[in-house]
Amino acid sequence: MIQTRYGTYNGDSWEEHCQLLLKTKYGTDGYQEMTAHTSGDLGIEGYTRTGIVFQCYCPDEEYDAKKLYEAQRDKVTKDLGKLKRSKKQLMDFFGSVKIKKWIFLTPIILNKDIVSHCQTKAQEYKGMKDMQDILDPEFDVLVHDEGYYAEEILLVKRILERKVEMDIVSPDKREIIDWKNCESESIEILNRKIGYLFENIQDQQTKDNKTNRYVDLMVRNYLKGQKVLSRMQDTYGLLYEKQVRIKSSIAEHLEDEVLITDLPPKQLLDQTLSKYKDALKSEKFHEIFEFSIYEDLCKEAISEWLINCPLDFGG
């Protein structure tokens, strides 16, 4: 099994996953699946009527960068050889369409040399006279990892009612301490603001203990939330941008509300969190992301607003 940002795969599950992605992305280009058990192994998993063919590969276990490259390289070489041997059969499927791109789909790329190998093979096959009746003059061999299909992955998950998961580890005590040491001004701001939440506590030691624990909680929420946002920006860019717009809009209005509100600190905090959750729900974030990720996004916003001033108490 190979674990990536988007899922966990073996050879069979990766092929099934690829078929869903390709049908979603290239359906309007006349994508056709090529099942090996009906047509034999012709070296491709599917093709489009626009001249793009696809082959999928995923090892059944985790490899280091060198071994993964060697396995991917050998697979590319082997399956391009099948393309040559199966030329006559493939032409029955393609008709007059010539192959413009042969795309190798693999979950993850750890060594850029696979890109170089694909380019070398592209030049080799373009120079074969006996392949000119099936290959376009601009024939190319490309390698794609799952990142090329981020939007399709999200859509397929929604179709299959699978919420997006992210394996994000919460910061440990050392990370929290290190951040606090580097951001002393932010900690002063947090201490002051959070102190208002516990202003009715008469015992000073109890008040200080609760304030300190809540500060650590906000720092933890902020650091973990930043990791979630970074992952979202890398893998689900459109959703990340939508989240940024929602968060920025609420922050702008929050500055006004803080100046005129009569609400006590805890009630203002709860109201702000509720408003942000409702905004994310209106854009279906709770339907897209699993509960823990959705909660991490909400907690990150509150902690960020407390640290960077839009959310304040005490007039």
Q: Which residues contact 266 (CB under 8 A, 6 or more apart)?
A: 197
% residues pLDDT > 70 (the chain): 97
Token readout for 127 is: 């120079």
Question: What is the pLDDT averaged over residues 274-297?
Answer: 90
Q: Which is more confidently placed, 78 or 2?
A: 78
CA distances from 187 to 30, 203, 297 (A): 57, 22, 21
Q: Which residues contact 124 (CB under 8 A, 6 or more apart)?
A: none
Beta-strand pair 99-105/52-56: parallel
pLDDT band at 164 (very low <50, low <70, confident <90, very high): confident
Q: Kindly report, residue by residue over 211-260, the tens digit of the pLDDT.
A: 999 999 999 999 999 999 998 887 787 788 899 999 999 988 887 888 88
pLDDT of residue 314: 64
Q: Which of 140, 61, 144, 149 is nearest to 98 (CA)?
A: 140
Q: How far apart are CA 91 and CA 130, in angstroms?
A: 13
Average pLDDT, the chain: 89
Beta-strand pair 2-3/8-9: antiparallel
Q: Kindly report, residue by residue over 298-307, the tens digit of the pLDDT.
A: 999 999 999 9
Element (H, E) at 137: strand 135-144
Q: How far apart are CA 258 and CA 261, in angstroms?
A: 6
